[in-house]
């Protein structure tokens, strides 16, 4: 029997790219449109756009297996209207992403990267590094109390922080104080960690009003999507000292990071590595391939996106 044809939407990690190639009749965008009719499945990641143009060009597409928990790269309404199944990789990356959030918060508040630069520049011999802020005892707000948000919250508790949150809906089984809006939360905390999914519903949620509510001593940490934060407003707030600092893993136009951000000492900038550990990426890869195999075998998915179950 011939193997199912799967389109690999770049970029994929070499391991995932090779695994799809070993297990299936893999095709790449360059093979389209000649092979378009054969394609029954897509494997993609958050930076590989699967828009309506691509979906419409694949008449026999049945499944999209996304390597990542966020799937704002996919035109979900168009896929679901066609009856195409969509999966993502929740849970397996919670620990890694939560660690990244904590690392960024500590990195900014304790000025770890600036202090490292200070040592490397040989400046220690001329005097001690200035004192910094402290995370223990500070108030930290989380926007988005899903699985990753909760993993961030438990780590913050362990650090001795006071945790509160804002979420689309109040979460019934948690004791953390709830704020009805992002602005309300920002006004009540020292630092704000953004963990909500990207997409139209959260586009620009952290705007100038939220940043101003956080204030000149406030720190923003974003490990979600660049689209959730109004990036020009963030840059302006940092430049004008209306916001104290920021720890960012995600940006509006990755991999492009504005020169204005790079020029600031009050920020710690990571290249979207939230889930980027060996163990987590292996688990994400395995789950992506398991979803694909499962759909091909019996039209089921291990981790369908929530919209499929709605």
How deeply is 133 buried, as exposed, middle or buried, from its count of CB atoms within 10 A (0-12, 13-18, 19+)?
Answer: middle
275 binds ligand 8YV per the rule CB under 6 A: yes
How far apart are CB 225 and ligand 8YV at their closest, in Å? 7
How far apart are CB 67 and ligand 8YV at their closest, in Å? 5
**Exactly one of 4, 41, 68, 245 binds ligand 8YV (CB under 6 A); which one?**
68
How deeply is 33 buried, as exposed, middle or buried, from its count of CB atoms within 10 A (0-12, 13-18, 19+)?
Answer: exposed
**Exactly one of 5, 8, 20, 46 binds ligand 8YV (CB under 6 A); which one?**
46
Residue nearest to ligand 8YV (CB): 68
Q: Which stretch binds ligand 8YV (CB under 6 A): 22-30, 35-43, 66-74, 209-217?
A: 66-74
How far apart are CB 212 and ligand 8YV at their closest, in Å? 28
How far apart (Å, rounded) are the C-alpha atoms in residues 97 and 70? 12
Residue of 259, 144, 137, 123 whose CA lies nearest to 192: 144
Q: Which is nearer to ligand 8YV, 217 or 307 (CB)?
A: 307
Residues with a known catalytic role: 225, 254, 272
285 binds ligand 8YV per the rule CB under 6 A: no
How far apart are CB 12 and ligand 8YV at their closest, in Å? 8
How far apart (Å, rounded) are the C-alpha atoms in residues 129 and 160? 24
**Exactly one of 4, 41, 70, 149 binds ligand 8YV (CB under 6 A); which one?**
70
Q: Which is nearer to ligand 8YV, 109 or 272 (CB)?
A: 272
67 binds ligand 8YV per the rule CB under 6 A: yes
Q: Kindly give the residue spans of alpha helices, DSSP state H, lying in 135-248.
A: 147-158, 182-188, 208-214, 231-239
How far apart (Å, rounded) are the C-alpha atoms in residues 65 and 308? 13
Cβ contacts of 8 within 8 Å, gap of 6 or more: 17, 20, 21, 26, 27, 28, 43
Q: Are 73 and 211 in contact (CB under 8 A)?
A: no
How far apart are CB 293 and ligand 8YV at their closest, in Å? 19
The number of residues making up the chain comes to 310
146 binds ligand 8YV per the rule CB under 6 A: no
Binding site for ligand 8YV (CB under 6 A): 45-46, 67-70, 93, 272, 274-275
């Amino acid at each position: 029997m011939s193997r199912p044809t799967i389109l690999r939407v770049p970029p994929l990690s070499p391991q995932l790219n090779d695994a799809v190639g070993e297990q299936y009749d893999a095709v790449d965008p360059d093979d389209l449109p000649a092979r378009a009719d054969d394609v029954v499945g897509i494997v993609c990641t958050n930076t590989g756009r699967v828009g309506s143009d691509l979906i419409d060009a694949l008449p026999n597409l049945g499944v999209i297996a996304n390597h990542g928990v966020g799937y704002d790269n996919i035109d979900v309404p168009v896929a679901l209207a066609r009856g195409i199944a969509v999966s993502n990789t929740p849970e397996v990356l919670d620990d890694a992403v939560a660690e990244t959030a904590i690392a960024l918060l500590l990195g900014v508040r304790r000025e770890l990267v600036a202090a490292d630069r200070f040592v490397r520049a040989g400046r220690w011999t001329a005097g001690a590094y200035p004192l910094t802020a402290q995370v223990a005892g500070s108030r930290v707000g989380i926007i988005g109390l899903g699985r990753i948000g909760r993993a961030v919250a438990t780590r913050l508790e362990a650090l001795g922080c006071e945790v509160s949150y804002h979420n689309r809906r109040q979460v019934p089984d948690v004791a953390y104080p709830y704020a009805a809006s992002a602005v309300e939360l920002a006004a009540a905390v020292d630092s704000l960690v953004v963990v909500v999914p990207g997409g139209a519903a959260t586009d620009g949620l952290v705007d100038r009003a939220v940043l101003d509510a956080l204030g000149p001593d406030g720190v923003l940490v974003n490990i979600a999507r660049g689209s959730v934060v109004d990036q020009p407003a963030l840059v302006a707030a940092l430049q004008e000292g209306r916001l104290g600092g920021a720890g960012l893993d995600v940006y509006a136009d990755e991999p492009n990071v504005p020169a204005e951000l790079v020029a600031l000492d009050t920020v710690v900038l990571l290249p979207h590595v939230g889930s980027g550990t060996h163990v987590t990426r292996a688990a994400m890869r395995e789950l992506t391939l398991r979803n694909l195999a499962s759909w091909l075998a019996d039209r089921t998915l291990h981790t369908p996106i929530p919209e499929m179950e709605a």
